[in-house]
Amino acid sequence: MSADKGAKIFQAKCSQCHNTDKGGANGTGPNLYGIVGRTSGSIGSFNYSDANKNSGLTWDKKTLNKYLVNPKKMIPGTKMVFAGLKKKDDRKDLIAYLSSCSD
């Protein structure tokens, strides 16, 4: 797992909609700073889909790995428009990067 590789994946695949800046604004998608360990749909300033708010998920590494394969399959009704990351190593690197974006 490489957070550096994950940062590059984030920049290429995620940064159009999300950021990982501490205290950063939401974009089309919510700010992902501190995502690992957070409950799905829990940033009050972001307008999540009901599907996301009511999923009951906590974004641990295992859940993120499964979600990133195919978000719409895991949370039907999510607003996230992303086909997913099919390569396991890409998901591991991205999750390593997201894990590094926290206090």
pLDDT in tens, the chain (103 residues): 899 999 999 999 999 999 999 999 999 999 999 999 999 999 989 999 999 999 999 999 999 999 999 999 999 999 888 989 999 999 999 999 999 999 9
What's the whole-model pTM score?
Answer: 0.93
Rounded to whole angstroms, what are the CA distances from 85 to 47, 53, 71, 72? 24, 22, 10, 12
